[in-house]
Each structure stands twice: as structure tokens, then as C-alpha cells.
Structure 1
Amino acid sequence: MSETEGNGAGAQQPPQVRMQILGQYIRDLSFENVLVQKGVQGEVTPDISVQVGLDARKRPTEHQFEIICKFTINSKNKNDGATLFLLEIDYGGVFHVENVPEDQLHPFLLIECPRMLFPYIRRIVSDMTRDGGFPPLNLEPVDFVALYRQEIARRAQEAQPAPNVGNGGTA
């Protein structure tokens, strides 16, 4: 059997998806130790909230995209609601992405690319909280698929026209 016999024209495989991280960087980083600044009194029981935002944009170079993961981590005292610390980080990655179908590119960039950056963000957050005088915070894994679906649902809801509550015009 020749090399071409096993690969008939009808059985042609789509090109393999190629993704490579070209660079990573901290775009913005802020850590405020409010506990020390304001001197919270009494017993401290932390309650931590984590908000994640994602942004993707095409770069001028072909097949290159920049992904920004924005994490806002707020630790408050469960007893009185006083802020203990606030950590904000914008972490970016430059990716080379090829052979992803156009209709799948948006979810690919906002799911797979942040998934590749997350371990680095997690380490920075752990180091910052430890160096800031708190126990190291190890972020739980983020479900980027669920995050993407929530954002799509939110945008779809925003796109729906508001119900007409009168003409609102002037006579």
C-alpha cells in the first residue's frame, strides 16, 4: 500500500490546532493590607470573594492574540464586614493560535488561553497574600467554560429590547 492509498480524499483530516504562549506579563497589580492600615479589632474570620473578568483582542501580527485575565480578590471579616485585604491583578498573555475555526475562536480564546495562564496567576496571588502578611491564598480552579457561558447569557439578556413602558416622548 502506498502512502497516499490510506488517506483517501474523503478522509482528509482538518489541520491540527496550534497554540503557543509567546509571552506573559503582569499588566497591573495592587495589594492593600487594610487590616494593618485600619487595625481591625477582635476576632478575624476571613470571607474571600473572587471576581474574574476576561478580555481578548487580536494583535497586528497574524495569528496573535492578547488575553487579559482580571482577578479582584476581596477578603472581609465575616464578623463585622471590615475589609482585610484587597488584591487586584491584570495578567496578560500573548498567544499564537492557528487552525481554530472562526466560529470557535472566541470561546477558544476566552476558555483555553486563560486556562493556560491560571497556574501563574494562582502562584502570584499566593505569593502576594503571603508577602502581604496573610496566609498564602491558593485560588480554587476557575471553571472558564461556565464563566464564558455566563458572559454569553448576560450579553444576550442585555441585547433584548426593554419593554415599552409608554412613549416617553414630549408632546
Structure 2
Amino acid sequence: MAEANGNDAQPNNGVPALNAMVQYIKDFSFENPNAPRSLGPQSKAPNISIQVNVNAKQVAEADFEVEILLEGSAGEGADLLFKFELDYAGIFRLQNIAASDQHPVIMIECPRLLFPFARQIVADAVRNGGFPPLYIDPIDFASLYRQKMAEVAATGAPATAPN
């Protein structure tokens, strides 16, 4: 009797599926502009700022590239301790998912799968820069998606699928 290893090219009998095909760093920057002064004791806790953005585009019939862009910094102006920019992406294959459901799957579930890896890259870079690791709090991509869709609805522009 043959055993299946999950890599067979057989159809999944109409069952919806989301598969991460590959994930990768597209671009990454970490700056420690005031080292070594920034590595000494600080008189107050730094202001930490983090921005998140999600982009997606279709790259094949059922494949989508989804990117999480994380930008952050600790400190401000002359007291800047560090800053980073990470563009982390993955290729996801959607099978048997209705067209009306694809946009939320791509913009919520795909970044949710990528986030733990992007979070670890940032934490390691901050630690390797001489600071305690920065563990970004989990992100509610569903809430971000609803907020973005509300903004789109308020402007009257149609929500479009990734292109």
C-alpha cells in the first residue's frame, strides 16, 4: 500500500485550501545611528513606534504574493536608538475558495501566517543591534481589514481584489 506524503498533485476534491508555497525577506534595514552612545543606560524608556501595512498581488492563476511591511523605531530625533524596515513576503496558493472570499483570505489569513516569522526577524535584529529584543504584539489583521474596508466604503471606491 502506497503512503501519501501530502505533496501529491491530486486535486483536493473541492475542499477549500490555502497553502504557503514559500516565504522570504524582500527588503530589510536595521539602523543604529547613535551607537555606541545609544547602547548605554537610558534616562527614560524610549518611545516605540511601529507601522504595519499589507500588500498583495496575483502572480499566477491561483497564486498570490502577500507582503507585510513593518516599520518601526525606538526613540526620537537625537535620541533615536534604532529603526528598522522589513518587507517580508510569501507566495500563497488558494484552491477552491470562492472569488468573493479570496480578498479577505489574502488580506487576513496570509499576513496572519507570515507575521510570526516577521516578528522574529525584527526581534533578532534588535537584539543583534545591542538592545533587548523587540517582540511586536500580535496584530489583529481581521480588525485592520475591517477598518480598511470601512475607509474604502466611506470614499465610495470599490474594494478590489489584489492585482
| TM-score past 0.5 threshold | yes
Task: Tell me the alpha carbon deviations over residues 58-107 of structure 1, each in whole angstroms, 9 at most, x when there is no partner.
Answer: 11x32111001000112126xx8832211100001001111111111111
Measure, in 2, the Cα distance between the counterparts of 1:153 and 1:38.
Answer: 45
Percent of residue pairs identical: 38
Residue 154 of structure 1: how far off its partner (Å)? 2.2
* In 2: Cα distance, 1:76 partner to 1:39 partner: 10
Q: Distance in 2 between matches of 1:94 and 1:70?
A: 15
Give the root-mean-square deviation of aligned CA atoms.
Answer: 2.4
Native 8 Å contact 1:40 1:82 kept in 2: no
TM, length-normalised to structure 1? 0.76
- Matched with 2:56 is 56
TM-score normalised per structure 2: 0.79
- Say whether 1:99 aligns with 2:96: yes
Matches of 2:55 and 2:75, distance apart in 1: 27
For the Cα contact (< 8 Å) 1:26–1:89, is it kept in 2?
yes
CA contact (8 A) 2:73 2:84 kept: yes
Residue aligned with 2:35, SS: helix
What secondary structure sits across from 1:46 in the alignment? coil
Are 2:24 and 1:18 aligned?
A: no
SS in structure 2 of the partner of residue 34 of structure 1: coil
2:127 aligned with 1:152: no
Q: Unaligned 5+ residue runs, structure 2? A: 1-12, 158-163
Structure ID, larger Rg: 1
For 2:38 and 2:78, locate their aligned partners in 1 and report how far apart those are by CA, in whole Å.
14
